[in-house]
Chains A and B, each alone.
Chain A
C-alpha cells in the first residue's frame, strides 16, 4: 500500500513540475520581451517607417514590417485555407475510411509538416528564379502558404476525424448531398477551423527563414504584390545584429509587437470559437 501511495505522490509531483515549467517558460519569455522591449517601444515604432538612419539609431519605426508581416500572414493563411478546406472535406466525407488516396494524402502532409521552413524558402526561391520573379510580397505569400498548408490541413483533419459518422449519416439520410452534409460538418468543427487558422497565422507571421529570400526586405510599406515585403522577424534579425545598443533595444520592441499581434489574434480566435461552439453536439 505504501508503495502505491508513494508512486501516486511521485508522479503527481512530476506532473506539477512539468506543468509549472511550461507556464513558467511562457511568463519568462513574455517577461523578457516586455522588459527589454517596452522601454524602446514608442509611438514612432508603430507609426513610422525606418526613415534613413533608423538602423544606426536615428528616428523611425517598423510600420513597414508590421504591415508587410500582416499582409504575408493574412494572405498566406487565407490562401492556405482555400486550398486545405477542399482537401479535408474530400478525405473525410467523400473518401471511404480505408481509401489509399486518403492514406497517401495524410502521409504527404505529415512529411510536409516536418520540413523545416528554410527548405520551403529555398524551394520558393528556386521556383521564383525559374519563373523570373523577384523577391516580393507575392513570392513571400506563396512560399509561406506552402509552409502553413500542412499545419492547416493537419489541424483541420484531426478535428474532422472526431465528428461522429452518425452526424454525417443523419444529414445524408434527410436526402442531403455529400456537399450539403459537409456544410453541417463544418458547423460542428468551426472552433477547430479557427484554431487551424490561428496556428497557421502564428506560424506565418513568425517565420523568418521562408521569407528571407522570397519576400525580400525594404524600408517602404509594400504597395503592390510585386514590391518587396519587409517582415517583423527579419526586422528583428537585422536590428539584433546591430552593434548599436539603441537599435538592439528596438529589436526587442519589435519582438514585443510581434508577440502582441499573435496574442491579439489568439484572443480573438478564442472569443469567436466560443461563439461558434454553442450549437456543437
Chain B
C-alpha cells in the first residue's frame, strides 16, 4: 500500500472537519476523493502533505510515517493544489528549474521541455507567471507535479479551470505517468465525468465522514440505492449533497 490513512480526524476548535476517515491507495491506483464543498477533501490532502497536523489518526506513506521520514517521502511524492502558487516574476522555465533542482532531477532542461510539450504549454516557457491565465498556471502546476516521476501524486482540483483540450492533454499525461511509473494518484475533483473516466475507486466524503467507498458504479449504487449498471456519479453527488449523511450510509 502506497498510502494508508487510518481513523483520521481533524478539529478546528469545536468544528470537526474530518471525522474518522480511513482509506488506502495501492501502487498504480487512481482514487478519487469526492464530496461537496466543505466536505473535508482539501483538509485531508493538507494533512497528507504534513501542512496541518491531524487531531487523531495516522497517515503512512510507503509504510512510513511522514513525521519521521519527511525527506525520503517528499522525494517520492508530489502534489498540485490551487492553494500553491509560484513566484510571479520568475518565468515558467525558471520556476520549474528551481523545483527540478529541489527534487534532484537529472537533465533538468530536457525533462522540463518534455513535460511542457506533453501539457501543450511549451510556448509559455519564457513567460513570467504573472502573465499567465488561471488555466495556464494549473498546467504549470501539473508540470511541477510530474517533475520527479512521483510514486504518489496528490491532486487537489488539478484539472479545474482547464479548457476541454487542455484537460484532455492533462488526463493523457496522468495516464502516461501512471502506466510508466506505476504512480498512485489521489484525486479530488468536482468534474464527475473526469472521475468516472480516470478513477478505479472513489471515497465519498460528506461533512467530514466517508459515506460511500468502492468503484464508481458501486458508489453510485450505494448512494442512489438503486441497481445501476453504469456509474452516474453526478446524480449520486447531487443526491448525497441533498441528503443527511446518515441517510446514505
| Same complex origin of A and B | no
B→A interface (CB under 8 Å): none
A→B interface (CB under 8 Å): none
